[in-house]
Structure 1
Amino acid sequence: MSEPRKLEVLRAIVEDYVHSREPVGSKALVERHHLGVSSATIRNDMALLEEEGLIAAPHTSAGRIPTDKGYRLFVDRISEVKPLSPAERRAIHSLLAGPDDVEDILERTVRLLSQLTNQVAVVQYPHISRARVRHIEFVLLAPRQVLVVLIADTGKVEQGVVQSGADTSDEDLMTLRSRFLGSIAGSQLDLMPQVLPSVVALCPPGLRGLAGTLAHGLERLADRSRDERMVMAGTANLARSNVDFPLSIGPVLEALEEQVVMLRLLSDMAEDPRGVTVSIGRENPYDGLSEASVVATGYGPDSSAKIGILGPTRMDYPSTMAAVRAVARYLSRILGG
C-alpha cells in the first residue's frame, strides 16, 4: 500500500468514526469515499493499518476504529488547520467584544470555546509574573492607610492595603507614584524584587520609609499573582460523551477538579509549527486522561499562558484545532498581546 493511500484510508476511517461513533468497515469506506479501489483492496489496506497499530477492532466487531497512534498520525499529517466559517468568526468577535476586565473576558472566552467545540474548555490566567508593569496607583484611604494598585500589560489588576506607620498626604503619594512609575513602568513583574530597592534609594530622604513600605506592597502583589489559576466551562459536554469513556469518566472529572493536574499539563505542552498542540490518549502524563485528548495553544504577550479544550480521543481534530487557535488569537488581541 502506498503512503498516500494509507493516509487517505486512515483519514476516511477517522472521519467516519468521529461522525458516526460506530466502527468502520471496508464496505462503508468504499460507499462513502472515492478511494478509487475495490472493497477487497480496502480490506487489505485496513489489515496493514491494523498491523501497524493505527486502527483496531473493538470486541468482535467487523469494523475498525482509530487507535491513539492512528489519531496521532492523522493529526500530524493535517497539512493545515482549516479556517473557521464567517459565522464562527462573527460569533467570536461579538461574544468577546465588550468590557476589558480580564476575569470577565476569560469567563466569556471559555464559554465560547466550549460552545464552538462541544468540549470542555479551559484557560489559564495570564502569567502576570512574566508580564510587565503598565501602571500603578497609590490611593490614600486614611491618614496611615494606602491602597496599592498594580496593573499589568495583560490587563490583570492586583490590589492591597498597606499601613504606612505615619500620617501620609496625597501630595507625598503623588510624588512617590511618579518616582515609582517612572522607574518601573515596562519592567517585568518577576524582576520587581531586584528593581524596587534602587527605586526606594532614589526617593527623597524624608519619604524613603514610606517608599519602602509601598515597594514591599508592590512586591507582595507581584508575588501573589504567581498563584496559577484556570477558568473552565462545558463540563456537561463530558456527560454527553460518556460512551467515549468506556472505562470511566470519573478520572477525567477528577483531573479537571484538581486544577493542578490540568495546569501542569497545559504548561508542559509545547507549541508546534501550526500554532496549536494536541496530546492524545496515553500521551497524556496523567493516567486519568488516557482516554482523552487535549488541544491547546498559548495566548498573551509571550504565549506563556494556555487555552484549550479537553474531550474524548474521538473528536473532530481539524475543527477543534481551528477553534482553539482562532479564539486564542482573538483573546491575545483583546488583552493587547
Structure 2
Amino acid sequence: MVSERGLQVLRAIVQDYVETHEPVGSRSIVDRHSFGVSAATIRNDMALLEDEELITAPHTSSGRVPTDKGYRVFVDHLAQLRPLTVAQRTAIESFLTAPADLDDLMVRTVRVLTQLTGQVALAQYPSFARARLTHIELVALAPNRLLIVLVTDAGGVSQRMAPLPVDVDETDMALLRARLSALITQRAVSDAADRLQALLAADEHSDDLALRALAAIIIEELGEFRQERLVMAGAATLARREQDFRGSIHPLLEAIEEQVTLLRLMSEMEADSHGLAASIGTENASFGLGEASIVASNYAAPSGMARVGVMGPTRMDYPSNLAAARAVARYLSRMLDEDEASR
C-alpha cells in the first residue's frame, strides 16, 4: 500500500519527467519540491513505488520514470486539471464560433484541440442513428439528374447526386418530393430506411422508375448516416514526438489511416463521473496501440453523447490535455445545443 507521501512523490516524478524528459532522482525531487524531508527518505519512498511497479529505472540510470501503471494511478488519484488560460479559452471560442455546418464545426474542433495540446486530436461525430429526418429537398441539375438533400434534427446534412433512368420535369419532381417526404420526414433514420425498403419491396414491378431510383439512393445515404465517423487533426505531431515513444509509431499511423480501431477504442473507454476518460499505454495493447495514451471528454449532442480527445505518447501532460479536451467538449456541446434550439 502506497503512503500519501509516496503518492505525492509519484506526482512529482510524473510531472518532472513530462517536463524534463529525463529520469527523476531523489535529489532532484528534494530540490524542486517542498517535501520537507531528506533525499534518503525520498529514496525510501521511491523504492516502495518501484516495488508497486509504479516507477522503474531505465537502463542503469539512478533516476526513475513512471510506468504505465504509475501513470494510471496518477490520472485516477493525483491529477488535478489545470485551468485553461484566458488566451486558450479565447482560442477555443474564436475557432468554434459561426461554423458553416456540422462538418466545419468538427474540423474546427480537432484543429483547435491539436493546437492547444500538441497531440493528435480526435472527435467522434454525433451519432445520427437515433436522429430524425426533418427535411428532404430535390434540386434539378438536369432532366435526368437531381441533387438529394437530407437534413436531420441532430444537425446532419447530406447531399447526394442522383442519376435517374428517366427525365423528370418540375411537376414530376414536386410529386416525388411530396411522396418521399411523407414516407421519411419526422422519422428516425433507421425507420426511414426500413420504410423505403418496404416501398421497394411492395412496388417491385412499379413503372415509377424515378421514385425507385431515388429510394434506393436515399437508403444508401441513410446507411452512411448510421455509420460512426471520426475526424482527426495533428497526425504530423507523431513524427515530431517519435522519440517519446518506446517503440514504433507505425501502429498509430495505421490506426489513424483506418480509423475503425480508434472509433472502437474511443467508444469503449470508461468515463468517470465528470465525463472524462483515459486509456494508457498497455491498456490499449489489444487495439495494437500499446505505445500510446488517449484522453477524452464526453460532449452532448441532440442525438446522444460522443467524445472528443487527444492521442499521444504515454509521457504526456495528462492534467493539461484532459482540461483542454473538457473545455473543447463543453464549448462543442453548447454550440450543438444552440444550433438545436435555433431549428
Under a length normalisation based on structure 1, what TM-score does the superposition of the two structures give?
A: 0.86
User: Which residue matches 1:90?
Assistant: 90
Is the 8 Å Cα contact of residues 294 and 312 (structure 2) preserved in structure 1?
yes
- Closer/same/farther in 2, CA of residues 82 and 183 from structure 1, 3 Å limit: farther
Is the 8 Å Cα contact of residues 121 and 233 (structure 2) preserved in structure 1?
yes
Whether 1:315 aligns to 2:334 is no
User: Which residue matches 1:66?
Assistant: 66
Is the 8 Å Cα contact of residues 79 and 318 (structure 2) preserved in structure 1?
no
User: Residues 254-293 of structure 1, C-alpha deviation per residue, up to 9 Å, x if partnerless?
Assistant: 3222322222222222332221211000000446421210
Separation of aligned partners in 2, 1:298 and 1:171? 47
Whether 1:137 aligns to 2:131 is no
- Closer/same/farther in 2, CA of residues 7 and 194 from structure 1, 3 Å limit: same
Q: Which amino acid aligns with 2:324?
A: A
- Closer/same/farther in 2, CA of residues 27 and 155 from structure 1, 3 Å limit: same
Deviation at 1:213, TM superposition (A): 4.9
User: Residues 115-159 of structure 1, C-alpha deviation per residue, up to 9 Å, x if partnerless?
Assistant: 100111122343333433232212233445433211223433222
**Coordinate RMSD, CA, aligned:** 3.0
Whether 1:241 aligns to 2:241 is yes
Count of paired positions:
333
- Closer/same/farther in 2, CA of residues 180 and 17 from structure 1, 3 Å limit: same
User: Which residue matches 1:203?
Assistant: none
User: Which residue matches 2:109?
Assistant: 109
Is the 8 Å Cα contact of residues 149 and 157 (structure 1) preserved in structure 2?
yes
User: Which residue matches 1:118?
Assistant: 118
Is the 8 Å Cα contact of residues 295 and 320 (structure 1) preserved in structure 2?
yes
Deviation at 1:71, TM superposition (A): 0.5
User: Residues 187-208 of structure 1, C-alpha deviation per residue, up to 9 Å, x if partnerless?
Assistant: 32122233457899xxxxx998
Separation of aligned partners in 1, 2:62 and 2:76? 27
- Closer/same/farther in 2, CA of residues 265 and 74 from structure 1, 3 Å limit: same
Task: Name stretches of at least 5 consecutive residues in structure 2 with no aligned partner.
Answer: 201-205
Separation of aligned partners in 2, 1:85 and 1:139? 47
Is the 8 Å Cα contact of residues 180 and 199 (structure 1) preserved in structure 2?
no
Is the 8 Å Cα contact of residues 119 and 310 (structure 1) preserved in structure 2?
yes
User: Which residue matches 1:260?
Assistant: 260
Is the 8 Å Cα contact of residues 189 and 226 (structure 2) preserved in structure 1?
no
Percent same amino acid among aligned pairs?
Answer: 52
Separation of aligned partners in 1, 2:303 and 2:168? 39
Q: Which amino acid aligns with 2:251?
A: P
Whether 1:45 aligns to 2:45 is yes
